[in-house]
Structure formats: structure tokens, C-alpha cells
A and B are shown apart, each in its own frame.
Chain A
Amino acid sequence: MSEGKQAKIFITCLVDFLFPSVGRAMVKVLRHYGVELEFPSGQTCCGQPAFNAGFQGQAREVALHFLDLFEDSEAVVSPSGSCVAMVKEYYPGLFSEDEELKSRFDELASRTWEFSQYLTEVLGVSDFPGSSDGSLTWHDCCHSLRGLGIEEGPRKLLHSLEGADFRELEDSKECCGFGGLFSVKFDEISSEMLKNKLACIEKSGADCLVATDCSCLMHMAGGLEKAGSEVRTRHLAEVLAGALDEKAAGSQEESLP
């Protein structure tokens, strides 16, 4: 099914700097499906900080750098819905006055995938092998959900894990309050939104909160930790990579006499 598939991974600045385990987990899962991966070492950031703050000139420069690195790829895969939304939704619009560049960005956008999307829509995975302990709940990150339409795919994957106790999160589509610089420019409002989100997470009774965007996860994890909560946070890739580990451990045990 995924024989001969190739992809360049865009790891994102946040994962590189703060959450490398998410990147490693994504690599593990994609390799499990035989995808040949390349990591263009010149990669930096998607340009969202500048774009969201209104600095479109700077965002354009960063976008051009991204195009340079990723244009000649079969697919671009990234473990972040908001960075992928930047590439797919906003890059082309930044070059609306240059037809040639715009069409190159449109083309790039059509080959750029958020990790869970690539897994379910390109590789066609719906049943994920392996198992998971404990109870999981899912937060719909705004850009993944409303920007990229990711809703059912990750839920299916989590449901398919053996032993997984999946619990829907109340108001799972409600923003966690991160919003990049919004979280520090309007920290009180952001914190109020976070408070509502944390209450829903606690109410779900799940041991682990899963999502597909490290920025939102960082925000909710920070809030949970500050509040002294026991709930852990995991990126979807980490949960899936963990499930593969469990499976490997299980089959080893089975093969023992």
C-alpha cells in the first residue's frame, strides 16, 4: 500500500527545540509503513509568528525559503496542524500577485500533509496495530479541525488501538486559548479559555490527553502541570509509536518458549 512512498518531513521549530520525541515518534510510525523519509537540514520555521502578527513581508521571505527546501518532494509531512495550515491555506495567498509563484505554492500545498492526515488519507491506515494502556481523550486543535478538516481520522486510529479506552472530551472543538502570541499579549483571556479547557479535560476522567499540534499541547500541558493535574499529554504520533513498541514487546513475549 505504501510501497515506494517517499516524504520529506517538516519537523517544525517547536518540535525540534522542545518536543523532539514527537518527531522521533512520527519517523517511527511512518517508517513502519515503509515510507522513505528525508529531513531537509536547512528547515527552520513556517513563518506563522510573522504572518499572524501582520508582518506579511517577513512571512513571504520565510515561505520562499520553505519552497526552496520542499518544492521537489513527493510529499511533505509534518506533526503540526497549524504549520501545515500555514503552508496550505496561507502561503498561496501571500503570493496572489505573482501568478507563477502562486501556482508553485498551490502545487506545494496540494502535496503537504499533517501527520494523521497523511497516515489516514494517503497511506489509507484506519486500523492501527498495537495497543495502549489507560484512557485517552482527544482535543481538536483549531487549525487541524477547521483549517484542514481533521476530525474522524485520528479518532479512528485511537479507537483501533487494542485496550484503548477512548473518551470524548466535552467541548473538544473549543479553542484551548493558545493562539501563538495571543497567549501572552492577552494572557488573562487566554488563561480563562485554558481554564475552561482544563475543566473539561479533568471531567473526561482520561489519564492522557492526545492532540495533533504541539503548540496547543504545550499550552494545555503547561496549564495541567501548573494546576498539579495528573493527566499526561501526548502527541498522536507518540501514542501510535508507543503502540508499536507495545506490539513489539508483546510479540517478543509470545515468541518466547
Chain B
Amino acid sequence: MKVRSDQFSRLSSEALQDEFLREALARANASFQDARGDAIDSMPDWEELRQQAHEIKNRAIENLPEALEAFEENICSRGGEVHYCEDGAAARDTILSIIRSHDGTSVTKSKSMVTEEIALNDHLEEAGLSVLEGDLGEYIIQLAGEHPSHIIAPAIHKSREEVAELFHEHLGSDPKADIPELTRVAQRTLREAFLGADIGISGANFVVSETGTIVLVENEGNIRMSTTIPRVHIALVGIEKVVPRMEDLALLLRLLCRSATGQRVTSYISFISSARTPAEGDGPEKLHVVFLDAGRSRLWADPEQRAALNCIRCGACLNFCPVYGSVGGHSYGWVYPGPIGSVITPHYVGIEKASQLPQASSLCGRCAEVCPVKIPLPDMLLGLRAKAVEAGSAGLVERFSMRVYSLLARSPRLWRFALACGRPVYKLAARAGLASLLGGPLRRWSRTRSLPLPREQGFRSWWRTEKKRGDADG
């Protein structure tokens, strides 16, 4: 997918003008927040469970190479085939050649962010295949020619009216259809597509190495369909999705469902360890697992940032982020929005293409507070800011002012002198309302906020006077 993360400022500015988007975000975030709140209120040991999950994921990621090998051995022993792809291009080609080797022509896809990462749909369609998104939200945005704006709720930015209009245009349904009717229309269309498809492509929420199992979590049943009905199932999986033991999964699933939608458990959780066995009545004839690296091993090699690979993609950090809540997912300019997106996007697409993202946070810390696996997201954003400075990407003015700042901040006399000189200048600017004319930071501040006026002597002078008086009294 084309990266536009370096345009965050412009994209977010446009998003802020979109009245409907802001209402939709406010509504969605409030309901996600409430649902999560209710779900974890019933779990008094929530914090303890988060800590355990944090440790499980840490260990899993630490032993990633071994866990991947074990997974491969186990799933291959039952006839599965495993492919490793270094980047998006390799993954696209691998998937296309798998499809060709099975003479596939029509593909149904279940919801998967990693397929967005490699822009799989475009590639397959260009190669002449028909590709249909099976998840309702994904289907809506596929019809609209857009991209998901949320990790678990891809069409959260679309209103019912827009969807009705879209379905009317593409499927001939009633332009005034209500939500149940729209769902029925989608169901009819998709059901037929599932029955006719020869290739099913999915992602994976987890893969378990000790058993060689792919785990898929959903509510609509489209994943079950696209991994069962077509002749071939291809799972595209980021290498960080591997967990060592089935036992670990019990906890991670509890945390994932509650953090994502506030459910105790989703409607469907599929455990797939092989293609159809002779004893089974249905299922695909062949199972392929395509592992994608695409920046992950680079991130893995960075001890300060590695914890970003612990993410289980619940979306809670988005739902609680006031920045995401103001500007929506498309402003982030690539696949993953919100705090986790601001951390991983620079690693996956290159910091130079996403330099604004780590800056676009007030560091309020809500994301880290709700993350079910305790990823210290604000600290990681700070780490990325430091990396950017080390790499020399800060502007000349900023570098110079930071030099001056630190020189002043460790030279008390200079500091006091600078404050004494700055005081009248600042006062004049603030009082005369010059700030809006001066431009720069003061102008940006004073568009929506008054500048504070220093009305009295500084604390330092007061303390000196006070002390003198005290000494005289004593």
C-alpha cells in the first residue's frame, strides 16, 4: 500500500474538517471504551493477567526464530507448506504462484491487515483474478475503493447512508435500506462468492508453534467460510504472530476479545492445523502458510523497540487515543493507525517516510494503560524521536535551539539573564496581541488559546526578598 505517512499533518488537518468523521469517531470510541470497561470490570485480576500476557509475549518474541522453526516442523508434518517472504513483493509473488499452481481464478479473502500491508488485492486483480473481501467492513471499503481506517473496524469511518448508497450503486439494493437489510444484501452476495471461490486467503491472529496451529478470531463467520469452502487455504502471517504453547493462547484470547470489542469471547475462533484430513467431511485440499518479514526482523534486532512486536492487534490503543479519536485512521497514511501505527510504521516503511508519526502524540499515556500486553507505547515514541535526532533528521533551527536551551539550562547565570531579557519581550508580545502577527509557535498557540501574562515578579526574586526579610527578622 502506498505510504502517505509523511503527510500526516495535511491529512489530519483535512480529517478535522470532516464533521461526520468526528462524530463517527466519537461514537465508535465511546462504545468501544464502554464495552471494554464493562468486560474488564468483571475481572478483578485484570492487571495481573496483563502482566502475564506481557511476559508470555516477551518470551515468545525473544525466542522467535526457534518458535518459527517448531511451527514449521509441526504443520509440515501434516502436509502443510510453509513459505518465508522477506518483503511485500516476495509475498505477493509467492501467493500468486501458489494460486497459479492450483489453477485458481477466484479468491475470497477474510479480514487481514497484513494483506493490506502488501496491497495483495491490487496485485491479484492486476493478475486477472477475482478477489472478494468476505468481512462486511472490508467488503464495504472494497466497494468504495478505500482502505481500512481501524485495525478491527475497517469501515468505522462510513455512515449507514454511505453504505446504503454504495450497495445501491453496486448491488442494486434499496438506497434507503436500514442496517439489517444491508447486512442481508451483503450476506446474499458474499455467500454465493464463498461457494464459488477456489482460493481462500486469511491472515492469522496467532500461530501456535508446539502444535503447528493457525488461530483465527472473528464474529461474522466469513473466516470460517473462506478457510473451509475453497480448495486451497493460504494464510499470510506476520512472523511476530507465533506463540509457543497452546496454554499461552487461553490467556491471550481472553485479553484480546475483551480489549478489542469487550466480548468475553468472539462468535467464532478457528484452530486450523492442517488441510482436510481423510476423516473430515470438508475443508481445503491444501494449506499454505506464507510468513512475512517486511521489516519485522529489523525491528526484532532493536532491543529498545522490539516490544512493538508483542502487539496482538486488539485496537484498544486506537480506541483510547485522543489523537486518533480526533483525526481517524486514514490520517496516519498507511495500514496501521493510532499509537501502535505510529510506532511500527516508521520501522516497516522507513523512518524517513513516516517521520511525523512519532511526533503526533501528546504522550498522554492512555495507550500504554489499556494495552493488554503492556507495550510501553509512549516510551517507544520517545525512542523513535531520539532515533530521528540521532539520524540527523531534525531541522537546523530545532537543533540550534536545543543547543542553546541546554547551554542555558546548565548555566544558571545565563539562564537567569535570558529569563530577565525574555520577560519584557514576551510580555510585550503577549499583551499587544502581537503573537498572532509574529508567526511561528506563538501564533499557532494563540489561535485557540490566550497567552498567559506574567503579572508579577518571578518566584526567584520573591524568594530572595523573602529570605532577606527572614534573615533580618532572625
Contact = CB atoms under 8 A, between A and B. Distances in A.
B448 A193 contact: no
A146 B362 contact: no
Most A-side CB within 10 Å, residue of B361, B369, B449: B449
Interface stretch (A20-28, A100-108, A119-127, A159-167): A20-28
A38 to B, nearest CB: 10
Contacts of B369: 146
Interface string B1-39: 000000001001100100000100000000000000000
A184 B412 contact: no
Interface stretch (A128-136, A205-213, A216-224): A216-224
B405 to A, nearest CB: 6
A29 interface: no
B409 A54 contact: no
Interface residues on A, range: 35 or more
B410 A65 contact: yes
B153 to A, nearest CB: 21
B469 interface: no
A194 B322 CA distance: 10
Contacts of B422: 17
B405 A54 contact: no
Contacts of A191: 447-449
Contact of A189 (B360, B419, B450): B360
Nearest to A43: B412
A209 to B, nearest CB: 14
Interface stretch (B113-121, B257-265, B272-280, B454-462): B454-462
Interface of A is mostly: helix
Interface stretch (A45-53, A110-118, A150-158, A241-249): A45-53
Interface string B373-401: 00000000010111111000010001000
A223 B449 CA distance: 4
A252 interface: no
B458 A16 contact: yes
Nearest to A187: B444
Nearest to A195: B448
Interface in A198-236: 218-219, 221-223, 225-226
Interface string A174-194: 110111111111111111111
B365 interface: yes
A257 interface: no
B415 A194 contact: no
B460 A16 contact: yes
Nearest to A93: B379
Given A187-B444, A188-B13, A41 B406 contact: no
A240 interface: no
Given A11-B459, A55-B389, A64-B410, A189 B12 contact: yes
Nearest to B362: A179
B326 A17 contact: no
A178 B361 CA distance: 10
A175 to B, nearest CB: 4
A78 B69 CA distance: 53
Contact of A16 (B360, B364, B409, B459): B459
Contact of B364 (A23, A52, A142): A142
A219 B409 contact: no
A62 interface: yes
3 A-B pairs closest in CB distance: A179-B362, A54-B385, A222-B449
Given A174-B366, A175-B322, 5 more contacts: A24-B459, A53-B389, A54-B384, A173-B366, A225-B450
14 contacts: A19-B452, A62-B406, A142-B363, A146-B368, A173-B366, A174-B322, A177-B322, A183-B362, A184-B441, A185-B359, A189-B360, A194-B449, A221-B452, A226-B450
